[in-house]
Amino acid sequence: MPQENVEIVRKPLRVREQSRRTLDQRLALRFPRVAAMQARLIGRLSPRSRLRQAAVWRGTRLAAEAFNRGDLDVYLLAFHPDCEWHPLPEFIEAGFAEPCYRGLAGFRVYWTAVSDVWGSELNFQPVELIDAGDRLVALASLHAHAQASGVRLTRKYAQVVTLKDGLVIRQQEYPSHSEALQAVGLSEQDAHADS
């Protein structure tokens, strides 16, 4: 069951294969305080707000595209300086990721570890975004190609992010869509019923 009094908005989300920095991303890199202020204002709006929906969906799409092209400076614009990143359990069990990375520098350490294994062929393909107010759920697939072994990986993947001041303060990765939905108190039927 969804948590009481939490508005939930669910929409499809796709990313472009080829992308580059947008003008607003270049401005946000140059003026990060203005970008943070904008994130705080958007974060205060209801998930049903059209302005919030447009900003959150566009911001998530652009962040995923930045991740896919390895543009960490742009990707990390969405993150709070005190953020936590909790990688997939399989990455931890395989020994190339720690259970938790803290701060923007911590994410860069995580990215280096993952890039050493998967190179530039780690690709996040979102299919759906669920906005539950202070948490967002991205349902996706993950595509990767290991550098050394040549092993290809394609699997379902999900992220649950917790927002603080409109920025990601915590991100948890899940190996299945259902686990991520359960983490925010939704079942797959709940998520599909509130389109």
Q: What is the pLDDT of residue 113?
A: 84
Is 181:188 a contact under the CB 8 Å cutoff? yes
pLDDT digits (tens, 9 = 90+) for 62-86: 999 999 998 999 999 999 999 999 9
Rounded to whole angstroms, what are the CA distances from 7 to 123, 128, 191? 30, 16, 11
Q: What is the pLDDT of residue 60?
A: 95
Is 125:141 a contact under the CB 8 Å cutoff? yes
Q: What is the pLDDT of residue 5?
A: 61
DSSP string across 42-104: HHHS-TT-HHHHHHHHHHHHHHHHHHHTT-HHHHGGGEEEEEEEE--HHHHHTTSS-S-EEHH
Q: Which amino acid is at 42?
A: I
Q: Of all residues in the chain, what percent carry a pLDDT higher than 70? A: 92
Q: What is the pLDDT of residue 193?
A: 44
β partners of residue 124: 142
Q: What is the mean pLDDT of residues 111-139?
A: 88
Q: What is the pLDDT of residue 57?
A: 96
Is 42:57 a contact under the CB 8 Å cutoff? no
CA 118 to chain centre: 18
- Structural fold of domain 9-193: Nuclear Transport Factor 2; Chain: A, (3.10.450)
Arithmetic mean of pLDDT over the chain = 89
